[in-house]
Amino acid sequence: MLRLENVVKNFGGLQALSGVSFRVEAGSITGLIGPNGSGKSTCFNVITGFYEKDGGDIYFRDENLEGLKPFEIAQRGLSRTFQISQVPEKMTVFENLLLAPKGQTGEVITNVFFKAARIEEETREYLEKAKDILKLLKLYDLRNEYAGNLSGGQKKLLSLGRVLLTEPTLILLDEPTAGVNPTLINDIIRAVKRLRDEEGKTLLIVEHNMKVISEICDKVIVLDFGRKIAEGTPREVQNDEKVLEAYLAGSSKKWDV
């Protein structure tokens, strides 16, 4: 689904990514972890076109993403959330979701007059999809609430909902449980698992909560100082000496951080 080959990104004299290579298999949940400053967010920004890489290649479904802008990458089915969720706060939860579908017929002003029936049909379809997504994310009861009144965790779920309404093939989640209360973390875990198991989605997740990573991920990739130092199942990675040294500071507690 996604393939990075020797990807390099520099910021002046600092090499944030140094020849990073890995694959994300279709229908899997892959975790991307590492200590602060290891290059995780930079990697996400390079994959999604927010940063221009300085070397290497990135392939999504065997298409090289070289030179594509973020919106062009998203239109191909690769969508992401952000570490800090930004939502139009004076719009309701429902209205936030209905902003997301791409290529809506009603976006062209002349279609309002000449394709009214098609616009009405699309609206009904998007309303039903939005209802299903809100139920999946346990936000349906808040559908008429202003987005600005949501908690930080609920805003993260809303951001995920907007991504889902774009019908992506691959979803990149940037720290989906950071700053979220334990109850909502469990909701996020259940939602992510259902996306893989029932919807057939593929996910790449940056996450600091190692219990979450070990519970939901099929494979884990570990970065340190811009380099990949380990790759494998959660169990394999948690016993890797390089990971224990770099990420867990040699802690005997392993994932309990």
- Residue 102 has a pLDDT of 72
- Residue 242 has a pLDDT of 85
Rounded CA separation 141/51 (Å): 38
**Average pLDDT score over residue span 136-142:** 89
Which secondary-structure segment (H or E) carries 33?
strand 29-33
- Tokens found for residue 194: 């259902």
Q: What pLDDT, in 10s, does the model give residues 165-174?
A: 888 999 999 9
- Residue 248 has a pLDDT of 57
- Residue 205 has a pLDDT of 94
Instruction: Confirm if 209 and 185 have CB atoms less than 8 A apart.
Output: yes
Instruction: Confirm if 233 and 200 have CB atoms less than 8 A apart.
Output: no
Q: What pLDDT, in 10s, does the model give residues 10-63?
A: 998 888 999 999 999 999 999 999 888 889 999 999 999 999 999 999 999 999
Q: What is the pTM of this model?
A: 0.84
Q: At residue 257, does pLDDT exceed 60?
A: no
- pLDDT band at residue 77 using 50, 70 and 90 as cut-offs: very high
- Tell me the three state secondary structure of residue 184: helix
Of 178, 174, 150, 149, nearest to 163 by C-alpha is 174
Rounded CA separation 63/54 (Å): 18
- Residue 12 has a pLDDT of 86
Q: What pLDDT, in 10s, does the model give residues 181-211?
A: 888 888 888 888 988 998 889 999 998 888 8
Q: At residue 251, does pLDDT exceed 50?
A: no
What backbone phi and psi angles, to 5 degrees, belong to 71? -70, -30
- Our CA angle for 202, 208, 209, nearest 5°, is 85
> What percentage of the chain has pLDDT greater than the value 70?
95
Spatial strand order in the sheet of 219-224: 78-80, 170-174, 202-206, 29-33, 219-224, 227-232
Average pLDDT, the chain: 86
- Residue 247 has a pLDDT of 59
- Helices marked H in the chain — which ranges? 40-47, 70-75, 93-98, 111-114, 116-136, 152-165, 182-197, 210-216, 234-238, 241-246
**Residue type at 244?**
L
**Residue type at 181?**
N
Q: What pLDDT, in 10s, does the model give residues 215-239?
A: 899 999 999 989 999 999 998 888 8
DSSP label at residue 248:
S
Instruction: Confirm if 33 and 222 have CB atoms less than 8 A apart.
Output: yes
